[in-house]
Structure 1
Amino acid sequence: MATELGPTPVKQPASGAAPAHHGPKGVGEDNRIASQGRWATWLLAPTVVALAIVIVYPIISAIVMSFQKDAGLDPVTGLFTDGGSAGIQNYVNWLGQQCAAQGGGTVACPPGTLGGQFWSATATTFFFTVVTVALETVLGFWMAMIMARTFKGRSLVRAAVLVPWAIPTAVTAQLWLFMFDFNGIINKLFNVSILWTGSEWPAKWAVIIADTWKTTPFMALLILAGLQMIPAEVYEASKVDGASAWQRFRLITLPLVKPALMVAILFRTLDALRMFDLPYILTGGANNTTTLSILVINQIRQGFNSAAALSTITFIIIFLVAFIFVRFLGANVVEQSGATGKGKK
């Protein structure tokens, strides 16, 4: 007996399943991404060109100039020369700590020589940086802790804190110059007779006080942003557990605000290493208050190529400091991320 075979039933797709596409996958999506990439390139191109003009070109030009001699009289022949290649002599003049003595041998560079000026300015710059950043961090943290609390008039206090930072540095320096005058308000207020800009240590502390007054609000605002990211529930839970105020600050506030704190210290350190206008207006660089930036400006009057070498050295110093900070911050972030991932597992 023959068996009739009917048509083979067609398997229907499950309910809700997406229909199969037999064409090329994601062609439209790839075209859209490529179009966005082209638009992004065209939109970013003007910014990249502007940065190359105002940053990359001056850096390269300064490096090239630093290997050239300054035009002037040749100390050997007494003839005027147009310069020429100097090799690394400009860098040796700045970095060399030893100078030739008249009777042969070497002696320590006196302050009047290039090497003596460089190391003296470097020490002064790092002294200002360490002291001002330390003071501004402590005072800024204290101000941020106060502004993070809830009280009447908090918005007004936050706006008032910005006033010293908003004033231009040149104006700030001139105001403090009047206040540090021998007959100024500082001596009258504390009933002292100090020549603030007439001797070394009073002049240094005058620069430190003025810079701390101006830049502490900047630190306070950055740290305040980090404090506001800490959930209030964390503090409430610690109070329930019986943690004291010092324990909450040491075990909760400091660890959680550390990323914002380190960024604030990094920005302020890089700014302090480039300090110029405040000490220049207050003291003119006298009484051992000459920073690296002031030394660069003074050297420009003597020769552009030698000043270019000094500016290149200053750039390298600031770059190395920034590199150390970034590496330090990046290592902490990676370590914390790895620890978090292990905890979740």
Structure 2
Amino acid sequence: MAEPGGHRPRERVTPATATTPRRRQGDPLHPGAWWLWALALGVAATRTTNPLLLALLVVVSAYVVAVRRPDAPWARSYGAFVKLALLVIAVRLLFAIVLGSPVPGTHVLLDLPEVPLPDWAQGIRLGGRVTAEALAFALYDGMKLATLLICVGAANALANPSRLLKSLPGALYEMGVAVVVALTFAPSLITDVQRLRAARRLRGRPDRGVRGLLQVGLPVLEGALERSVALAAAMDARGYGRTARVPAGVRRTTAALTLGGLLGVCAGTYGLLTAEGAAYGVPVLLAGLAAALAGLWLGGRRSPRTRYRPDHWDVRAWLVAGSGAAVAALLAVAAARDPAALHPGVVPLVAPALPLWPAAAVLAGLLPAFVTPAPTPEDTGKEPS
């Protein structure tokens, strides 16, 4: 009801209305969950050389990317990772053809002329017989690395780098800024090249070849320099890089915990990879992780900052990260119990078979496609309509 004079009474702001809005079910997923899911799929890829299981891992990650990738410049890097993975497989096969392979075989496909090498190059062969067994071994080995690269590309396509930077601990903030700037530089550079090539085509000028590349390269570099200067000025005006004063004892404790924790992680990992250190590998690894996390927590005191609308680790994030961890754990168990199924032999050369329950375990990685929300304007970088 309006007061005399036509003025409406002011609404009183209560503490309940001044709080931040409650998180809705359709809000974006925590970016760390996407990275944990993708890295867990990559770990699963390292536990097998079965091409059918590796192809299934690629299909699972590609489906999740297809249904949950936002329409943003940083999300278009998945295709580049797929091309890089195909290049890795091609290079691995080329090395097996040119340099030979230690895998013996009887099915000769090519008989290339062999280049004689001096005595000090014993063990290296250029040319010679190329067998189907050697190519199959190289293909399986290359597919393992290619699958790992595709899983990392899925994380780059699904996790918003700016929101990932906001979720980093304070001790890693400066490093996170550098990484995010590096990740966002390439899409901006590609966008500038496409814009300038389109402008040259509209003016009837060549946009291909060496001449077109040289005439496009200078404006692109000039624009990149201008963006770098503007970004540096904006970051300096907002206080990036400023740190708080902490006592010298806290700094020394932070350095000791972080360095000791990293050494413990290295020693524990070495113990897990060797048969002699299997007894102490897990305790040393856990102790190193605890010390490193404590060092990061103490180091965060030097970087006091606030977060606007921080991303919360909710039930959906646990489900996404847990599905990837389940795939990695189940394939590790399968590799220990039935190594022949996850590492098919090539001598004698037989067609690989698809093990049923490891394949069903890989399909658990599809869970993020059903429990996560569709991309929102906040994820795509567009203004909500």
TM-score range, shorter chain: under 0.3
Q: What TM-score, normalized by structure 1, do the two folds share?
A: 0.26
Rg larger in 1 or in 2? 1
Q: What TM-score, normalized by structure 2, do the two folds share?
A: 0.24
